[in-house]
Chains A and B, each alone.
Chain A
Amino acid sequence: MKEGNAHVASLDAEHELAIEDPSGIELPLEQQTGRGRRMTLNMGPQHPSTHGVLRVVLELDGEKILKARPEVGYLHTGIEKQFEVKKYQQGVPLTDRVDYLANLNNNLCYALAVEKLLGIEIPPMAQWMRVMLSELQRLSSHLVWLGTHAMDVGAMTVYFYTFREREEILKVFEMFSGQRMMTSYIRIGGLALEPPRGWHKAVARTIEKVATGIEEYHHLLSSNPIWVNRTKGIGMMPVKAMIDLGVTGPMLRAAGVNMDARKDSPHSSYDKFDFEVPVRTANDVYARYEVRIEEMRQSVRIVRQALEGMPEGDWRADAPHVVLPEREKMKTQMESLIYHFKIVTEGFRVPASSVYQVTESPRGELAYYVVSDGTANPHRVFMRTPSFGNLQALGAMLEGILLSDAIPVMASLDFVLGDTDR
Chain B
Amino acid sequence: MSSAGWESRETKQRASVLPEAVAQDPAAITIEQQIPEAIVDAVAAADGPVLFISASQIVNVCRMLKETSRFERLSAVTAVDWWPREPRFEVVYLLHSVVHKDRLRLSVRIDEDEELDSLCGVWRGANWYEREVFDLFGVRFRNHPNLERIMMPVDWEGHPLRKDYPIHGHRYSYREE
Q: Once the chains bind, are B161 and A80 in contact (CB under 8 Å)?
A: yes
**Taking CB as reference atom, which chain B residue is nearest A241?**
B124
Chain B residues near A119 (CB-CB < 8 A)? 1-5, 46
Partner of A120 from B3, B103, B151, B160 at Cβ < 8 Å: B3
Bits for A100-123, please: 1 = Cβ < 8 Å to B, else 0. Answer: 000000000000000111011110
Chain A: minimal CB distance from B41 (Å):
14
Partner of A421 from B127, B151, B160, B165 at Cβ < 8 Å: B151
Q: Once the chains bind, are A374 and B8 in contact (CB under 8 Å)?
A: yes
Q: Once the chains bind, are B125 and A72 in contact (CB under 8 Å)?
A: no
Chain B: minimal CB distance from A83 (Å):
10
Q: Once the chains bind, are A382 and B78 in contact (CB under 8 Å)?
A: yes
Residue A352 at the chain B interface, CB threshold 8 Å = yes
- Bound-state CA distance A352–B45 (Å) is 9
Chain B residues near A380 (CB-CB < 8 A)? 80-81, 161
- Bound-state CA distance A245–B125 (Å) is 4
Size of the B side of the interface (Cβ < 8 Å), in residues, is 45
Residue A196 at the chain B interface, CB threshold 8 Å = no
Q: Once the chains bind, are B8 and A246 in contact (CB under 8 Å)?
A: no
- Bound-state CA distance A84–B82 (Å) is 13
Q: Once the chains bind, are B128 and A76 in contact (CB under 8 Å)?
A: no
Q: Kindly specify which of B16-24, B55-63, B69-77 makes contact with the partner chain.
A: B69-77
A78-B160, A421-B151 known; A382 and B76 CB under 8 Å? yes
**Taking CB as reference atom, which chain A residue is nearest B125?**
A246
Chain A residues near B3 (CB-CB < 8 A)? 119-121
Q: Once the chains bind, are A369 and B4 in contact (CB under 8 Å)?
A: no
- Bound-state CA distance A78–B1 (Å) is 31
A246-B125, A380-B80 known; A349 and B6 CB under 8 Å? yes
A81-B161, A351-B6, A355-B47 known; A369 and B152 CB under 8 Å? no
Chain A: minimal CB distance from B144 (Å):
14
Chain B residues near A122 (CB-CB < 8 A)? 1
- Bound-state CA distance A422–B161 (Å) is 13
Chain A: minimal CB distance from B82 (Å):
8
Chain B: minimal CB distance from A125 (Å):
16
Partner of B98 from A73, A243, A353, A358 at Cβ < 8 Å: A243
Partner of B167 from A81, A116, A349, A355 at Cβ < 8 Å: A81
Partner of B80 from A241, A357, A379, A421 at Cβ < 8 Å: A379
Chain B residues near A246 (CB-CB < 8 A)? 73-76, 123, 125, 129
A120-B1, A354-B50 known; A367 and B76 CB under 8 Å? yes
What is the interface of chain A mostly: helix, strand, loop, or mixed? mixed
- Bound-state CA distance A84–B2 (Å) is 26
Q: Once the chains bind, are B45 and A244 in contact (CB under 8 Å)?
A: no
A116-B46, A369-B92, A421-B151 known; A384 and B76 CB under 8 Å? yes
- Bound-state CA distance A379–B78 (Å) is 14
Residue A259 at the chain B interface, CB threshold 8 Å = yes
Residue A264 at the chain B interface, CB threshold 8 Å = yes
Q: Once the chains bind, are B124 and A351 in contact (CB under 8 Å)?
A: no
Complex interface residues of chain A between 374 and 389 (CB less than 8 A to chain B) = 374, 379-380, 382, 384, 388-389
Complex interface residues of chain B between 7 and 30 (CB less than 8 A to chain A) = 7-10
Chain A: minimal CB distance from B70 (Å):
11
Chain A residues near B128 (CB-CB < 8 A)? 72, 388, 392
Chain A residues near B78 (CB-CB < 8 A)? 369, 382, 384
Q: Once the chains bind, are B151 and A73 in contact (CB under 8 Å)?
A: yes
Residue B105 at the chain A interface, CB threshold 8 Å = yes
Chain A residues near B167 (CB-CB < 8 A)? 81-82, 84-85
Chain A: minimal CB distance from B4 (Å):
4
Q: Once the chains bind, are B94 and A384 in contact (CB under 8 Å)?
A: yes
Chain B residues near A389 (CB-CB < 8 A)? 76, 125
Q: Once the chains bind, are A352 and B101 in contact (CB under 8 Å)?
A: no
Chain B residues near A382 (CB-CB < 8 A)? 76, 78, 92
Complex interface residues of chain A between 347 and 374 (CB less than 8 A to chain B) = 349, 351-358, 365, 367, 369, 371, 374
- Bound-state CA distance A244–B123 (Å) is 5
Q: Once the chains bind, are B150 and A355 in contact (CB under 8 Å)?
A: no
Q: Once the chains bind, are B45 and A353 in contact (CB under 8 Å)?
A: yes
A367-B76, A371-B80, A380-B81 known; A357 and B47 CB under 8 Å? yes
Residue A257 at the chain B interface, CB threshold 8 Å = yes
Residue A265 at the chain B interface, CB threshold 8 Å = yes
**Taking CB as reference atom, which chain A residue is nearest B153?**
A73
Chain A residues near B8 (CB-CB < 8 A)? 351-353, 374
- A119-B5, A241-B124, A351-B4 known, 16 other contacts, Cβ within 8 Å: A73-B149, A73-B150, A73-B151, A81-B161, A115-B1, A349-B6, A351-B7, A353-B46, A367-B76, A367-B94, A371-B80, A380-B80, A382-B78, A384-B78, A392-B127, A422-B151
> Which residues of B are at the interface with A, using a C-beta cutoff of 8 A?
1-10, 45-47, 50, 72-76, 78, 80-81, 92, 94, 98, 101, 103, 105, 123-125, 127-129, 136, 149-153, 160-161, 163, 165, 167
A-B contact pairs, 28 of them (CB 8 A): A72-B150, A73-B153, A81-B160, A81-B167, A84-B167, A119-B5, A119-B46, A120-B1, A121-B3, A241-B124, A246-B73, A246-B75, A246-B76, A259-B98, A264-B101, A265-B103, A351-B7, A352-B8, A352-B10, A358-B75, A365-B75, A367-B75, A367-B76, A367-B94, A379-B80, A380-B161, A384-B75, A384-B76
